[in-house]
Amino acid sequence: MNTQTTTTATVTRIDTFKNQSVKNIILIASGKGGVGKTWFSITLAHALAALKKKVLIFDGDLGLANIDIQLGLSPDYDLGDVIEGEIDFKGAISHYKEGRFDILPGRSGSARLSDLSPTRLALVREELKSVAKDYDWVLIDLGAGIGGIVKSLTPASGKCLLIVNDEPTSITDAYAFLKLTRRSHPHLPVEILINQAENDPQGHRTYEGFAYVCEKFLNYKPELAGVIHRDAHIKDAIRHQVALSIRHPNSTALRDVEKIVKKSFK
Ligand SMILES: Nc1ncnc2c1ncn2[C@@H]1O[C@H](COP(=O)(O)OP(=O)(O)OP(=O)(O)O)[C@@H](O)[C@H]1O
Ligand SMILES: [Mg+2]
């Protein structure tokens, strides 16, 4: 078989499977950037691992990867090495001992990673689906908005947690994200996570306002995954490049994440 035929066969096989989602792959998404996806993914992984679940975080913010930076790690390999053919997908996964979970890091500042072709993205998706069989949960820390990687990984996922705070830009962009995602993947469950809430009532009000608009205009009311309070310990943990669960094990935000685990990760 020549190369052209092989590539065509691979793409055809990928296309055949592309609509098969894997229940334990969870997208951590937002419309607007900087709303808390990365620290939440890390803290969620930690909370699940504490319950003896086997967890992998995949850094899906290709080209602007942050997981290893927030944890102060210098992994031997990352997704860039996989793309360059240096190592296979599984070989690029490293174990984060303190958190008892695995990480497949991205590579910050890699133009090549941020600009992967649809075929390459589809191959990454299929590798991830295959690796997901070895885990209880695979968490994908996405970049903001709806880029190629988000479009490519969405069909593989069992659920999307959409993070929103009470700023109008965050709400508007989250609505746009949900609208476009519902259009392309009407069966993907989306749950809303209200972050940086001043208090519980304010968090619930933000959710109700958002859910009302979604129900009215999209005919879909996303469930509430939970409310996370504004907590200065998060910034402190990120600045010190240590997971919140380790640096501030008694923090309010960690308790909030544990509640989300109980509700949404049964
Ligand atoms: N609940 C919270 N309380 C206080 N500060 C928070 C909270 N959530 C997020 N932040 C602040 O928001 C910043 C951004 O968090 P993070 O890097 O996790 O967001 P992100 O959505 O992954 O960003 P990006 O879209 O750039 O990848 C943090 O550095 C932290 O200071
Ligand atoms: Mg991030």
Instruction: Read off the pLDDT of residues 168-210 as tens digits, 9 standing for 90 and up.
Output: 999 999 999 999 999 989 999 999 999 999 999 999 999 999 9
Band (4; pLDDT cuts 50, 70, 90):
very low
pLDDT for the residue numbered 2: 46
pLDDT for the residue numbered 92: 95
CA of 195 to the centre of ligand 1 (A): 9
Residues near ligand 1 with C-beta < 6 Å?
30, 33-39, 61, 66, 143-144, 195-196, 228, 230-231, 234-235, 238, 253
Q: Where are the alpha helices (DSSP H) in 27-167?
A: 37-50, 67-70, 79-83, 111-114, 118-131, 148-153
* Residues 6+ positions from 187 with CB-CB distance below 8 Å: none
Supply 174's token pair: 């989250």
Q: Which of 28, 32, 38, 44 to mutate to test the pocket of ligand 1 (most atoms within 8 A of CB)?
A: 38
What is the tens place of the pLDDT at every residue in 253-266? 999 999 999 999 98
The ligand minimizing its distance to the Cα of 228 is: 1
- The answer to whether the pTM exceeds 0.85 is yes
Neighbours of ion ligand 2 (CB under 5 A): 37-38, 66
CA of 153 to the centre of ligand 2 (A): 16
Domains and their CATH numbers in the chain: 21-264 (3.40.50.300)
Q: E strands, the chain, where? A: 22-30, 55-60, 94-96, 101-104, 137-142, 157-164, 190-197, 223-229
Residue nearest to atom 30 of ligand 1 (CA): 235
What is the tens place of the pLDDT at every residue in 191-201? 999 999 999 99
Residue nearest to atom 3 of ligand 1 (CA): 230
* Residue 171 one-letter amino acid: I
Higher pLDDT, 2 or 84: 84
Average pLDDT over residues 63-85: 88
What is the tens place of the pLDDT at every residue in 105-135? 988 777 677 788 888 889 999 999 999 999 9
Nearest CA among 251, 261, 195 for reference residue 227: 195
* Residues 6+ positions from 195 with CB-CB distance below 8 Å: 35, 36, 40, 163, 164, 165, 228
Residue 13 has pLDDT above 80, yes or no: no
Higher pLDDT, 66 or 259: 259
